[in-house]
Chain A
Amino acid sequence: MDFPTLQTFIVVPAYHEAAVIQSVIAEIRAAGYDNIVVVDDGSQDDTYKSARATGVTTLRHRLNRGKGAATKTGIEAAKLLGADIIVTMDADGQHDPGDIARLIEPIEKNHCDVVLGTRLKNPVGMPRYKIWQNKIGNLVTWFFYGLYVSDSQSGFRAYSRHAAELINTKTDRYEYDSEVIREIYLYKLKYMEIPIQVRYTEYSMGKIHKQSFANGLKTLYKIIWNLIS
């Protein structure tokens, strides 16, 4: 059965990723996707220049607003550019663009609106503390937002146009990933969880360490704050 050709856009929020952004873009292209939107979230390094040099759509936040804000900007840009399916992935090279095809397939076949890439269904090579951190994140997301998913903090996701139009997040930083889960629950969007591969390189591990425990607490605080304020 043939499916209509849908325009797939890959959104890559990036902050201080000058060292790897070009190789990430090259990998996405090698996987067969040319519609790429990079959002440089106010980096002080050459992330913007490096991404722009590859010829992909490169946008820049004048101020650093956080991963959630940059992802939202990228999704808005993809919508303006006529995207039918939008995939978001991290810029540090931890996500394998080879997984994009499996992520978008259920949306192409109209089986669901959102596909969540999940690391915990295939946690090979994933540090034990990271597994527990994610499990706690899942419980917190379930407790406050009402939907239990196996990886509420994954940034590798695919959205149909319909879902991208409905989902309206307000948070700017890492709590964004959990807020998307809330929106899926609120709008009763159909979703699927697909195992993804995560490549824990020395570089991406360095990034992960930076966003570990302290950011987890900040995210929790923000989730609670958003509920009571």
Chain B
Amino acid sequence: MSLALYQIVILAVAAFMLYQGITNYFKRQSGQTVIKLFIRIIVWGGMAIVVAFPSISNSVAELIGIQNNVNAVILAGFLLVFMMIFKLLSAIERLEQQISIVTRKDTLGEIRGKDTNQDIS
């Protein structure tokens, strides 16, 4: 099996990213979750497999009904990026809501136990 230069480069990058993700997870570094590891394996592992075995993309193209294998890969990439952005925006939204809840708790803490129309600082 002979590999072109671009395949070697992408395989090296993918291997590094996978190694980093797996070691981060097992070292239990902060912010590392199973889902994060899973996504990393899917993204970089998938990329490595497609680069190492380009014929696989033909099967994917056939499976989802797209004739050109390159188009199938690009489409799959777009979907992945979209999912990641979606997840990111959801996380930001959750954080925004949590900030509002904390801000409200902090503000209402001033009022609890005090009477109406008192100066509340």
| Interchain nearest-CB distance for B99 vs A (Å) | 7
Say whether B100 contacts A65, CB under 8 Å: yes
A126 at the interface (CB under 8 A from B): no
| Interchain nearest-CB distance for B21 vs A (Å) | 26
A131 at the interface (CB under 8 A from B): no
Interface residues on A, range: 20 to 34
By a CB distance below 8 angstroms, the chain B residues around A39 are 107
- B-side interface residues, number (CB < 8 Å): 22
Interface 1/0s, chain B 86-110, versus A by CB < 8 A? 1001100100110110011011101
Given A35-B117, A82-B116, A225-B93, CB of A57 within 8 Å of CB of B111: yes
- Within A172-221, the residues touching B (CB, 8 Å) are 172
Residue of B nearest to A53 (CB): B119
| Interchain nearest-CB distance for A201 vs B (Å) | 28
- Taking Cβ atoms with an 8 Å cutoff, the residues of B that contact A are 86, 89-90, 93, 96-97, 99-100, 103-104, 106-108, 110-112, 116-121
6 A-B pairs besides A56-B117, A62-B107, A69-B103 with CB distance below 8 A are A61-B103, A65-B99, A69-B104, A73-B108, A77-B111, A80-B111
Enumerate the 8 nearest inter-chain pairs by beta-carbon distance, A residue then B residue, closest first: A69-B100, A65-B100, A73-B104, A59-B107, A229-B90, A81-B116, A61-B103, A172-B100
